[in-house]
Structure 1
Amino acid sequence: MAKKAEVSVEERLRALYDLQLIDSRVDEIRNIRGELPLEVRDLEDEVEGLTKRIEKLNDSLAIIDDEIKGKKNLIEEAKTLIKKYSEQQKNVRNNREYNSLTKEVEFQELEIQLAEKHIKEFKVQIEQKKEVIAETKDRLKERTSHLKHKKGELNEILKETEKEEEALLNKSEEFQKKIEERLVNAYNRIRNNVKNGLAVVPIERGASGGSFFTIPPQVQVEIASRKKVITDEHSGRILVDAALAEEEKEKMDKLFAKLSK
């Protein structure tokens, strides 16, 4: 059985830089979306909250209406009793019965006054709640319109980028399989710990990409020889020479153009 050809350091470096370019393109796509998905989620939550608030306010209005009906029924019952007691007073045989009926009439009159007072209070509550409902409906209308606009924005961006992002993520997995697990783990660890997710960078004007720290000439020669994987002692990033980076960028730009169609 033929032995599998060993991958050279240069091939590993190229694959690592290709992986970096793919992952950076995914980052770029996600940055285009930015905070939009979060904004949409927050707006959806707000719209749901406002809708539920209106439902609860309407429920409480229904309860107050029932309370008012109950008080009106109580008033009608009290009026019926007053009429009854007043009729009975015409046929009493002594003062004690008359006074007793008078007290019943007075009690029912007090019940009517108290019920009318409660009805007035309930009506004030209804007006207050109606004002809050109107304000909440205005807010809901404005937030719903804003949500529709933001969803439109997000859907437009998703339509443009979702297919490309999925293809790029598949390519990322594909390129990771070309690199030994130890290097992939190191790449992911560096990528998670550095700014902009750049784990593999080229030498630019004698310094590692995105850094102001100069790389000694001897180290630059070693990097250009592509005989071993070298990291920047300051940032921990994996370094590649500018020529290799340019070659891989041209190759990956063609791939990105193809995937974005």
Structure 2
Amino acid sequence: MATKTEVTVEEKLRALYDLQLIDSRIDEIRSVRGELPLEVEDLEDEVAGMNTRLEKLKADLEVIEDQIKEKKNNIEESKALIKKYSAQQDNVRNNREYNSLSKEVEFQELEIQLAEKNIKEYRAQIEQKSLVIEETKGRFEERSEHLKHKQGELDEILKETEKEEQTLIKESNSYEALIEPRLIKAYKRIRNNVKNGLAIVAVERGASGGSFFIIPPQVQVEIASRKKIITDEHSGRILVDPDLANEEREKMETLFAKLK
């Protein structure tokens, strides 16, 4: 069994390129989900927020209904007092007592008017809040249905890809274990610094894959010799020759087909 010191540069390049193909496949699976998980999470927060708002609005209505009951009770109490004071006026001994009772009656009448005004205002609030509740309910139902639809989409995608993704993650970890830590660190650093996550690319038409900068012929010869690890001076990505890339791609496509 070969030791790590006996691993050739070509073997390192093949292992790195295989790792890149596996990680790119994982990226591809995750890109299928796109922003869907975040969208579902946002919808869940939105629906929860609407539900909380509905509960608060309903609680507000209960408070207003209680206030109306209280004002109605106050009106009945004032009417009873008016009846009482009016009856007492028939038995007064002087004008002072009569006027005092008249003021009490007048005060209770004003209390009734104020209570009736308050009730009118409360009912206007109920009407307004009821409209808001209906609008919020409609929005809540619409967003809940949208959430259900999006959650279904996400569940379907997860069902189709989760098993493959988990297997690929294990494969990725296995390949990482075969490569020396220094190279893995460089690979991950490059991968994090490029938009498409491609840390290792093949030479295509004399240039680094995805780049327009032509690689000098002598450097291309060195890349094809597979004697040392060469990076693109413009992007910093590790370069491999087209033949090696095609060979490893065919090998990995066979692996991916088995995982589906």
Task: Judge same fold: TM > 0.5, yes or no.
Answer: yes
**2:237 maps to what in 1?**
237
**1:14-37: CA deviations, max 9, x gaps?**
000000000000000011000100
Tell me by how many angstroms 1:195 deviates: 2.2
Q: Which residue of 2 aligns with 1:166?
A: 166
Q: Distance in 1 between matches of 2:219 and 2:74?
A: 97
CA distance in 2, matches of 1:3, 1:209: 32
Distance across 1 between alignment mates of 2:116 and 2:32: 63
Partner of 1:186 in structure 2? 186
Query: How big is each residue's C-alpha offset from its partner over 1:183-221, in whole Å with a ceiling of 9 and x where there is no partner?
Result: 000000000001200000001111111111111111111
Matched residue SS, 1:69: helix
After superposition, where does 1:59-138 map in structure 2 within 5 Å?
Answer: 59-138=59-138
State the AA in 2 paired with 1:128: Q
Instruction: Give the equivalent residue in structure 1 for 2:7.
Output: 7
Q: Which residue of 2 aligns with 1:203?
A: 203
Aligned-partner residue type, residue 71 of structure 2: K
1:6 partner amino acid: E
1:202-221 to 2 correspondences below 5 Å: 202-221=202-221
Q: Look up the match of 1:56.
A: 56
SS at match of 2:227: coil
The normalised TM-score by structure 1 is: 0.98
Q: What's the % identity of the aligned pairs?
A: 74
Give the Cα separation in 2 of the matches to 1:155 and 1:47. Answer: 19
Q: Structure 2 CA distance, aligned partners of 1:119 and 1:6? A: 92
Which amino acid counterpart does residue 127 of structure 1 have in structure 2? E
Deviation at residue 61 of structure 1 after TM alignment: 0.3
Matched residues in 2 for 1:166 and 1:84: separation?
84
What corresponds to 2:259 in structure 1? 259
Partner of 2:18: 18
| Distance in 2 (alpha carbons) for counterparts of 1:86 and 1:103 | 11
Is 1:28 aligned to residue 20 of structure 2? no
Correspondence for 1:47: 47
Aligned AA for 2:236? G
Q: Structure 2: 5+ residue runs without aligned partners?
A: none
Deviation per CA, 1:77-112: give whole Å up to 9, x if none. 000000000111011111111110000000000000
Residue-by-residue CA offset, 1:105-149 (whole Å, 9 max, x unaligned)? 000000000000000000000000000000000000110111111
Give, in whole Å, the separation in 2 of the partners of 1:153 and 1:195.
26
Deviation at 1:5, TM superposition (A): 5.6
Residues in 1 aligned to 2:50 and 2:59: alpha-carbon distance in whole angstroms: 14
Distance 1:195 1:94 in 2: 99
Equivalent position SS for 2:92: coil
Alpha-carbon separation, structure 2, partners of 1:4 and 1:251: 23
In structure 2, what is the equivalent of residue 248 of structure 1?
248
Name the SS of the counterpart of 1:228 in structure 2: coil
SS at match of 2:178: coil
Cα deviation, 1:143-177, whole Å, max 9, x if unaligned, reads: 01111110111100000001111111111110001
Instruction: Please tell me the residue identity of whatever aligns with 1:76.
Output: E
Tell me how far apart the structure 2 counterparts of residues 217 and 124 of structure 1 sit (CA, whole Å).
84
Cα distance in 1, alignment partners of residues 232 and 152 from structure 2: 44
Q: Name the TM-score, length of structure 2 as normaliser.
A: 0.98
Give a deviation string over 1:34-88, Cα, whole Å, max 9, x none.
0100110111111001111110000000000010000000000000000000111
Gapped regions of structure 1 (runs ≥ 5): none
> After TM superposition, which residue ranges in structure 1, 4 or more long, deviate above 2 angstroms?
2-5
SS for the counterpart of 2:6 is coil
